[in-house]
Structure 1
């Protein structure tokens, strides 16, 4: 179907190619006739037939606005932006067919410049005759040849034959599947990749350092805090004015024409009179000297040819994310030497990680949508939205953007003519509606609030919000506003975004009155009294990404603060946990700061739902019955370059009757649809106990059989492996065995030999398969023998007599073995295992063995007492029946491998990449094992049938592994499937699960 459409489109273009190639056939015509249909065939909703709100359109068409720069007419925006949700993926710049884009340096530079400033992986250039894709992580230069940074090129005569390849690169399906990012992140190129965010970050870091060095050199009495604030404000002012130039609010190259610091101060004074936001007001250090040459060099770097910035395209959110990374470091003066160092709290939290814009937008949208409904329009002005750990303000930017877009949607839907007449909506040349500057200013002052402990982050948050305010507003509109309202252009945000410690109020003085006499501690703790700030008002919504900092790290950089949280004075319920994480406190404080019926949306690690230390937070949330929704990302990674397992948690300041949870299997599809398949549960399902999520059907089934079941640890003893504390020394891989002597290469690469009689079969670094035979892949040196019921270490004399080669081997590692932390170590026992636990488990008898990390049940029967090592985290666990357990071990094995019991494990367990999850003792010990009533002949019959079927399965798997050809193995695989299904049926009878769907195993 799509190929037919494409074929007709290409044939039509080819048939009248001479006509389309004439100078009078313009860009608008080629877009409408060919480019738009072409990208529709690639799956994009070019004409917005889905009727999405203006800000969520998949394809945004920009009006061609030209301005004068360096005596040239320069276009400020690309022709198309391709989006999924709120995330832009690539720009498309079009030219008329008469322009040879394969030879045009100007067209290539323009396209690459747009994409680079948009911080995008690629951008596309087309006149339909040709379609070129550029890598826009490579910084463009006006003199580059058109071929530089080219990723792909297609001539229109190739569109049909190479459609699959084009589709793989820029189709809608490619974007929402996640293939887009994977494809372009791995573009191999000899060119240096300098994406906008990394390049700009490196520049402002360099400016901070050279400015600081210069200021300290010229002003030796300056203190460290003043220096940091002054330099930060100076950079903010310069960047703000440069952004205003590209947004036509200041004359282009105004900064470039400044030659001295004195001139710059005059510009700042004029800007303060014009904008009046506090951004340009006099600050401490205004009198400091700065070398003019330093400033001139910085100004040069902001313009072509030193850079190709086009700040009219740069999203304020990207600026905020860059500053977030910038604020990881601070300037430190050491013996007169200026250096940039990571802040202590950043070191202990392993660095700043930006929240992706689409995640911030989804959290904001989910949290605020119930508030900003059409029915509540009259209340919109009064809503107070906060981020109480706002950092550089990215969640506040998302919230601000959301509210602006909701006003545009409301006016367009309900009162378009009135909104246009009153000047609330303004239409551009492309017939896109924008909210008036006055209304945006009003929203910023009425609706947006934030707090952060870092004064520099607060300055950046205000700075980013002001950039967002002036976005898409003309100087004429702003000047008209100033004239009509007798005020300056920008509002002050000092009352909206404040510096302080959201978690520490005046109760700290009661805890530690010494703070009143300790200026350094005052500055570090930054007591923040919520009753006094923001006129004592609470909030309708709180959003954000609170810091994830565990107590042991908190103690490193703020011991006094940590002790306050743990004290009775602080009143923090969640601080009672032994292993406190700071985000617990932000959840608790957020709930305190919400108005009745207020909403809160955070992204936090999901491990709190299961781990012991999360009990205090689970207790708080469950007792308040406030959880509304959980979006669980499982092992999907939200933060680039980090293994942080997270969820979105939405709560309300009112008691709820139900909550819902959805599990995200494909994060790219989630970003595209902004939704997950949700399941609803009664709110009572949540408690201080670990939160596990089974289907309602399974929960009901297990509940019915509750009286017939007992926990696994009441039938059997679960044990860990041997604890050598030096596995590479004790575990060996034999190369040969002859006459009772094993030859092998040790962990240092040396040839060794030992007596086989002192070794036992062992498994190491392997996955097990349920009902299959365990095949040893290593040997373990086991220097013990049985004496009565105990395992006793061979003495030195016994080793010399019975195992001299092994003793010699041990002696070659004596230094390493003696370094182990072992009680009562002496010259007579230095070669013993690190711990004596589980020694008796590996002598005789039957037991089950399983891998801790696995993707499914993998409990295997063993009578050969094959050894394994490991503690509470595995890699293996073992199980022995208790003496009074009547059920066969084969029966217990079958129940543990049963799909529904495995689902119980999966619902509780910690998740890891590759779909692995833990089968550790804490997740299996309480599994509900159906107890056979041996006085009931029917149950005995089922029990015996299960045992027989397990034995059949073990025999079939053994025979399968002995077959030589693939067809023979396939025959046994079919027989195994038949027996496996039979076994499921037998166990389902016992649990009454005949009608439960196995698909529930995969609900996550």
Structure 2
């Protein structure tokens, strides 16, 4: 399978000097490669789609089941489904009394060496032709899938057993899979040509687009209402003219789920739902980003409007060895959900077998709640005890943008406003202050926890001629700067306090007091740099970021709950002032650490910093009124 997957991702191109070059196909380059789906993922998806459909069925009733992979690649999912069907049939026949299934014109079983029961080749062929269907745009993939399935038909057979069965049944050993596994574009139908002259598309483009008419290619399936199950790992490719073409993109924009940053797997989810019959099942492995992103709300709405979501399984670990993509499994039933239906949510920390995935205890979330929510967000993170804690924090305290204001830094140049020459020569930058228009500039690397260390020493001519211009009140006075790239320990925010006038890159976020801000920016700095806020951030992000979130966004920062202070309460004012004392201490300690000359001095200062960090964390827990068990949730998180 892995060899086939890599082979299918390549194309041979003849260069101008007549050399043959093997290179990635354009769509593979765009996706970052072709990735082989691990066997345990295939088996779990098959078990929860095909397995569910086979419950309480007999082999006779199972003959009518149709299982499709609409982007079958080398056939991993179809092989998995076929193997599941073979195992299920053998188990059923043996449990039903094997001897009676060895008789008749078309026996299902025969007794092999040592008395073990086997499905006859005839039965294996019948199951394959009845139940397994696949489509792929790549003709090589189609042939590889056919070959893989035919080899599976012959698995465990010998020349002797094949000849014996051929004599009995007078039929060829291998079936013709041309009616089951087909080459075509699963997403583009013949209506692509509506209103177009056929000669407007050259032969090469027509072959590349490769339109596919589902209803004429599989008439018996659609006369019965559609496929019973759709399974697979659809391609993850953000669509662009360079890898798909203008005409195809215009067509694909007709999909109801299509919107900004359209990815092929979004369309395959809609197509999968459209292809299954009423009460049919779908199981995919896809990136998890679409569950919460703002610009995939149409996709979520389409799923909510057309299906019952049975299960979503989130992988906290990377499933594909060579791909840095966080994935999820989604299982749907094509039926409208009952009012009280709950979606099963599973989180896999490191499961690597079907049994381990099966054994994960699910949390339950109301599908109706998602359907009524703003943006139809599929929130799978705020669950269990952690979920109760996060909900409490979000409900009890105001958002950061209600008690202060936040913004990105400045982007000096952009092709929409500046010439190539201006950008190349960085015309607004200088190594010294040339006149009063110039401000000192900070880069992301200059900002860390409780410390600013300006390294490069550049100045920038500041004004409306820059691409992103901020009014001067953003760049002066008491405020907080936060590096966009987060740290990797338990205290991930890289935030510091500043009063001097600086311009800074977009790689730095700034938080400034608003007209209604009463607390000190140093008080807010202590909260942001605390362990609690690092714990909380991944749960408020629009993106399904890992708990070791790599970077911050202004939109997510604004949603963080901030403990406001009632200055009419002496007790609350005391907590506020205590935080300022601790933050002042941290600012001084980090400055001393940066200037320390000896290892011994650095060790002593780091110990004081660690102690003060713990004091700040403890104070933040008190401010947010956390119980010992809630504190334990945060402290015990890896």
TM-score (norm 2): 0.80
Distance in 2 separating the partners of 1:507 and 1:1003: 53
Aligned to 1:877: 509
User: Is there any run of 5+ residues in structure 2 with no aligned partner, and where?
Assistant: 415-424
Give the structure with higher Rg (CA).
Answer: 1
Deviations 1:189-246 (A, max 9, x none): xxxxxxxxxxxxxxxxxxxxxxxxxxxxxxxxxxxxxxxxxxxxxxxxxxxxxxxxxx
Question: CA shift at 1:435, angstroms?
Answer: 2.9
Distance in 1 separating the partners of 2:391 and 2:325: 34
Pair 1:996 & 2:630 matched: yes
Distance in 1 separating the partners of 2:40 and 2:118: 22
Question: CA shift at 1:914, angstroms?
Answer: 9.9
Aligned to 2:555: 922
Aligned to 2:197: 514
Distance in 1 separating the partners of 2:479 and 2:11: 59
Distance in 2 separating the partners of 1:603 and 1:701: 30
Aligned to 1:768: 448
Deviations 1:896-916 (A, max 9, x none): 345554444212265779934
Question: CA shift at 1:484, angstroms?
Answer: 3.1
Question: CA shift at 1:471, angstroms?
Answer: 1.3
Distance in 2 separating the partners of 1:859 and 1:455: 51
Aligned to 2:327: 646
Aligned to 2:487: 854
Distance 1:625 1:975, change over 3 A: same
The alignment partner of 1:854 has SS state of coil
**Structural RMSD (CA):** 4.1
Aligned to 1:381: 63
Question: CA shift at 1:921, angstroms?
Answer: 0.7
The alignment partner of 1:369 has SS state of helix
Distance 1:333 1:483, change over 3 A: farther
Distance 1:776 1:528, change over 3 A: same
Aligned to 2:36: 354
Aligned pairs for 1:590-989 (under 5 A) are: 590-624=272-306, 626-634=308-316, 636-656=317-337, 657-666=341-350, 669=352, 673-675=356-358, 676=360, 678-686=362-370, 688-692=375-379, 693-700=381-388, 703=391, 709-724=397-412, 760=440, 762=442, 764-765=444-445, 768-769=448-449, 773-783=450-460, 835-837=468-470, 841-855=474-488, 856-858=491-493, 860-865=495-500, 869-871=504-506, 874=507, 876-907=508-539, 908=541, 910=543, 915-935=548-568, 939-948=572-581, 950-951=583-584, 964=600, 968=604, 972=608, 975-976=611-612, 979-989=615-625
Aligned to 1:446: 130
The alignment partner of 2:47 has SS state of helix
Distance 1:954 1:463, change over 3 A: same
Distance in 2 separating the partners of 1:718 and 1:480: 78
Question: CA shift at 1:338, angstroms?
Answer: 8.2
Decide whether the 8 Å contact of 2:134 with 2:181 is kept in 1: yes
TM-score (norm 1): 0.53
Distance in 2 separating the partners of 1:644 and 1:699: 24
The alignment partner of 1:638 has SS state of coil
Question: CA shift at 1:716, angstroms?
Answer: 1.9
State the number of aligned residues: 601
Distance 1:335 1:707, change over 3 A: closer
Pair 1:467 & 2:151 matched: yes
Question: CA shift at 1:987, angstroms?
Answer: 2.2
Question: CA shift at 1:400, angstroms?
Answer: 0.9
User: Is there any run of 5+ residues in structure 1 with no aligned partner, and where?
Assistant: 1-316, 727-746, 785-790, 793-822, 825-832
Pair 1:566 & 2:253 matched: yes
